[in-house]
Amino acid sequence: MMNKWRWRWPAAVLTMAIGIYAVRDAEPRITTATAPVVVAAASSTAMTGAAPAQTMTSLFQRGHPPTPAEMAAIRQQRKQRMQAQGYPTPDAYFEMDLKQLNALADKGDVYAMLQLGEQYYNESASLQWDQDYNFNADPQQLGKQYLGDAAIAGHLHTGLVLAQKYLNDQQPDEAYAWLLLSKRLGDPAASSQLEELAGRLTPAQQQTARQRLAELDFRVKVRYTGG
């Protein structure tokens, strides 16, 4: 019974398919590198409104890339936001694309970490047009990771900024842990915020935060003493 109802390709379709494959096999093959994150040139074109096909943007993107004027406005808003929260970077870092910032962050550049953290956390929609955008991680979680790296690397005020983001994301125990670390590292603004937040946490949440602080302390120790 199964053979009786087996579906068959029409003869004309099979003939056309055979012809296509014959032509394809006759053409010279070109071997190219396929690693998605290795690009020969910096992604400055992606930040100036070039078409997706020219910037090798992800197939998952939608809409149109920001125009140069829109990108300038986004950078200005970021600068104002970072200055208001107390963790600005030199102006040159606002002009860098992700490839440049990633390279500097890998070398321990705190300013690059701050830029990556702020951009992934607040600007992922426009950032997706950069050819080095990380589509494999949640952008806000990745942003907090970069900010955490900056705090561990010694940027004093970043712990407070990160704590506020965790509060915004309804993670008060994580926020409390970063405030504890900030106080331990010498940020004078941490104490008052710790007192205010402590009254809102359950004993179990405070215990979770102190366990998390032990992990952060270990990261600081490894950073500065090599273990």
pLDDT tens string 24-54: 444 444 333 333 333 233 333 233 333 333 3
- Between residues 4 and 111, which one has the greater pLDDT? 111
Query: Is it the case that residue 202 has pLDDT exceeding 70?
Result: yes
Residue 182: pLDDT band by 50, 70, 90 thresholds?
Answer: very high
pLDDT tens string 131-163: 999 999 999 999 999 999 999 998 989 999 999
The structure's pTM equals 0.70
Residue positions counted in the chain: 227
Q: What pLDDT is stored for residue 22 in this prediction?
A: 42
Mean pLDDT of 176-192: 94
**Residue 161 · residue 85 · CB < 8 Å:** yes
Query: Is it the case that residue 12 has pLDDT exceeding 90?
Result: no
Residue 172: pLDDT band by 50, 70, 90 thresholds?
Answer: very high
Residue 63: pLDDT band by 50, 70, 90 thresholds?
Answer: low
